Amino acid sequence: MDSISPEPSTCLDIKAELMREFEGYFPVSPFDYRSVVALVLYWKEADDPEYKKEAEQVCELFRNKFCFKVFGEEPLAIPTKNSEVFVRKEIENLLFENDDASNLIILHYGGHGDRDDRGKGTKRSVWAA
């Protein structure tokens, strides 16, 4: 493998250069997304202030490390009043603006976790696809 040229200027440059370098080493993926967009949500009036901090860190990871677009540019705070309407509206806006079968949409929700399977123990994150 040739050496990677120093300091590509953007995330897209890095991606393109890595794709060129790895060409032929890995099978072609059937999942070639035109764009990847993440919607990051957390409870505005949560009992744990770490939800907002986690949401900000997730946005930073998606934007800066993975070069994904973050819908709304920052985490969206779910209000207590009309929360279901708020979330539905944001998801509908996201889908409307990214309505293409070749787009990947990621929804990250930072909020209340589930107890373990026996109903005891600490809260845990739940990842689903």
Instruction: Please report whether residue 22 resides in a domain.
Output: no
Instruction: Please report whether residue 26 resides in a domain.
Output: no
Instruction: Please report whether residue 6 resides in a domain.
Output: no
Q: What is the pLDDT of residues 52-105, one digit of tens each?
A: 888 999 999 999 888 899 998 889 999 989 999 999 999 999 999 998 888 899
Find the distance separating the first CA and the last CA of the chain, reported in whole Å.
34
Instruction: Please report whether residue 84 resides in a domain.
Output: yes
Query: Among residues of the chain, what percentage have pLDDT more than 70?
Result: 72
Instruction: Please report whether residue 15 resides in a domain.
Output: no
CA distance 70 to 105: 10
**HSE-CB of 42 using CA atoms within 13 angstroms:** 19
Instruction: Please report whether residue 21 resides in a domain.
Output: no
Instruction: Please report whether residue 85 resides in a domain.
Output: yes
State how many domains the chain has: 1
User: What's the whole-model pTM score?
Assistant: 0.64
Residue 119, domain extent: 31-129
